[in-house]
Structure 1
């Protein structure tokens, strides 16, 4: 008889794929569910940023998310994987983190074909700050196999309801800096899939080690990414549109508040982060500037 709930399994060990000698480009594996309102803009932005393939894990969408992707992304650049599941360890009962499982599947089954894989969510946009593409910006890190990008956190921007015109054009107020933030700092990563040996959402293990570089090539252990001298968004900026509109935020919070105690605690944590974001904001148009360059405006 168990008297406690097993902790979720949030890290998986993987055997890295052998790189295809002709591999190239940047792929984004992503897990989605009911993102019809926002997925087209996200996909178009990353196509402009040079992403060559999207591996989309559909976690049971009941809206038009998948059909919008098929209409937006060229067929040769899109793989859709049905991913509506909840898996547990047969002995402990511990839930296996579905996103970690999806990322592990992507690495093992598709990683050999790509120079880079970027692991983000649909509310996160990878913005080249000076270069024409994500891949061009990554040339600065040389042979490094793990690039950590810190969240740049955007709040509600004064929008009660989702505004017309999309995310990038309307959400231009972000937290001044997440460096040293108590609640709002986390990381996402871009990796060489042929060297990944362990998978977590916010940092991969490379060649058996938990370390990597920032976008300028400065190296650190994952556990030391928060220390002075590592934080950087000089060449690649990860815009995390954390709340979108207030209506979007409240819908997510409401789903948590009517669910388990753990989700209620998550809702309170979300509001602490929102308060931290909106306490000290600055104007940030890096994504708008990138689109202007990419579209020749």
Structure 2
């Protein structure tokens, strides 16, 4: 039996693309999602609630503490909840997509190979920073279809990594990118031990490695989505960090077209259709059984049907 891969994330007001993000990752091999909701005011909670009833998501709510750093406490809680429920856990954000750069879109062959070595406790995947594709306003379509232009591999922002870890081997997270291990090796996709960036320290590498896999980071999306979404949400890891004009200009890189994630659009749609089928089945069960289910579940089903 292969290694069970799960995803961990903290989210806030991600209803517009949350289903796509979950469906995409299910299509590349992720089985379960551990999600902390950070005071969402849109339909995010309703979506998570419905998916939790289907065993796809395990979620909880977390408030923003006085220092503004909800991410690290969320990661600590997820580590506790995930132990014994998955073999390896990828800590990513809702605008980040785990992507195989090989012919097989599944990321599981790499995960199985890397973690077949018992001394490996963590895998770091470098970013691939995607820009706005020149879109000022939001358009219909999935993120992986609308944004297909990215920075070149040697773009300095791509030195950041996101981590896939054995939960039981992590003491805590040093920052959103890097885990402090109890023991074991921290490697890249070539199996080489990761060395902290000479200038910026842990969480960044000295060289961008896209061999076999990476994390597509849709850092800006359209200008409208950036202003109304990421900029307004702020940072979950640092209260003082403002993501506005400077951030957008730095990350809005559209140098090279890349269709690797675009190529998984059909598989992602199939997963979305499966979620809709689950919804229809759940709705029918409720009607036929006459059960007195909570209003929150009824609202979740209604909301998801509208989105799908």
TM norm structure 2: 0.73
Could you report, residue by residue, the CA deviation over 1:109-133 in whole angstroms, capped at 9, with x for unpaired residues?
Answer: 2222211100000000111233352
Q: Give the 3 Å change call, closer, same or farther, for CA 292–207 of structure 1 in structure 2.
A: same
Residue range with higher mean Cα deviation, 135-144 or 107-116: 135-144
The 3-state SS of whatever aligns with 2:261 is helix
What is the aligned counterpart of 2:192 among 218, 221, 229?
218
Could you report, residue by residue, the CA deviation over 1:197-221 in whole angstroms, capped at 9, with x for unpaired residues?
Answer: 2313111112258x61111212122
Q: Which residue of 1 aligns with 2:256?
A: 282
Question: Contact (CA 8 Å) 1:31, 1:58: kept in 2 or not?
Answer: yes
1:125 aligns with 2:97: yes
Q: Give the 3 Å change call, closer, same or farther, for CA 117–169 of structure 1 in structure 2.
A: same
Q: Which residue of 1 aligns with 2:109?
A: 136
Q: Give the 3 Å change call, closer, same or farther, for CA 236–47 of structure 1 in structure 2.
A: same
- Measure the CA separation in 2 of the matches of 1:237 and 1:83: 28
Question: Contact (CA 8 Å) 1:57, 1:83: kept in 2 or not?
Answer: yes
Pairwise CA distance, 1:145: 1.4
Question: Contact (CA 8 Å) 1:212, 1:222: kept in 2 or not?
Answer: no
Question: Contact (CA 8 Å) 1:23, 1:113: kept in 2 or not?
Answer: no
Calculate the aligned-residue CA RMSD, in Å: 2.9
Q: Give the 3 Å change call, closer, same or farther, for CA 291–268 of structure 1 in structure 2.
A: closer
Q: Which residue of 2 aligns with 1:66?
A: 45
Pairwise CA distance, 1:73: 6.9
- Measure the CA separation in 2 of the matches of 1:287 and 1:73: 26
Pairwise CA distance, 1:273: 1.9
What is the aligned counterpart of 1:187 among 152, 155, 161?
161
What is the aligned counterpart of 2:136 among 157, 160, 175?
160
Question: Which blocks of at least 5 consecutive residues in structure 1 are unaligned?
Answer: 1-21, 88-94
Question: Contact (CA 8 Å) 2:150, 2:257: kept in 1 or not?
Answer: yes
Q: Which residue of 1 aligns with 2:302?
A: none
Pairwise CA distance, 1:187: 1.3
